[in-house]
Amino acid sequence: MARTREFDEDQVLDAALQTFRRKGYEATTLPDLLEATGLARQSLYNAFGDKRELFLKSLRRYADTEHGRMAEMLRSLPIREAMAAIFESVLRSADRECGCFLVNAASELLPREPEVGRIVASAMARQEKALAGALRRAVRKGDLRLPPRRIEQTARFLMASLQGLIVMTKAMPRSRAGRDAAAMALRAIE
């Protein structure tokens, strides 16, 4: 008879995610993961497979969580307020030291790890779709004047600005450059 798991899978994934996010894939060792998750080696392997599979599951979890946060802001706030809040959260991020797990993973592992590329591309496509949907709603409500053909382009620009801002704030945390870049990106939806 199989034993029931005596741990919360989501908590273990979150602990592994934070370890990978802080150290990177290559620098994270099995002992690091065992210490962070509190699991024994065999339990970790039985539940999540090898280090690579744990990393990919952690990356997918992060992508889903971050998409949910962004999508909720875009649904619940007017587009300008939502984007200002999203940019501000990046500028004030306490996790600046760790940075965005998606950006970190792409920087470290692409192009040699195609599955990471698929996860990151999917996350970006979902961001773009959420942004385009918010822009369309704002245009329908009369809150934003944007020709229909520019909605997708503007969504892509905002997404690229957000990703660039994440990198800028990590690389230059005390620079005014990030705040200036966010202000210019917001002008696209004035």
Predicted confidence band at 94 (pLDDT cuts at 50, 70, 90)?
A: low
Q: What is the pTM of this model?
A: 0.89
CA dist., res. 20 & res. 23, Å (int) = 5
Q: Considering the chain, what is the average pLDDT of its residues? A: 92
What is the model's pLDDT at position 98?
A: 78
Cα 109–101–136 angle (5° rounding)? 110
Q: Helix axis angle, 9-23 relative to 41-48, nearest 10°?
A: 100
Residue 38: left (phi > 0), alpha (psi -120 to 50), or beta?
A: left
Contact 169, 178 (CB under 8 A): yes
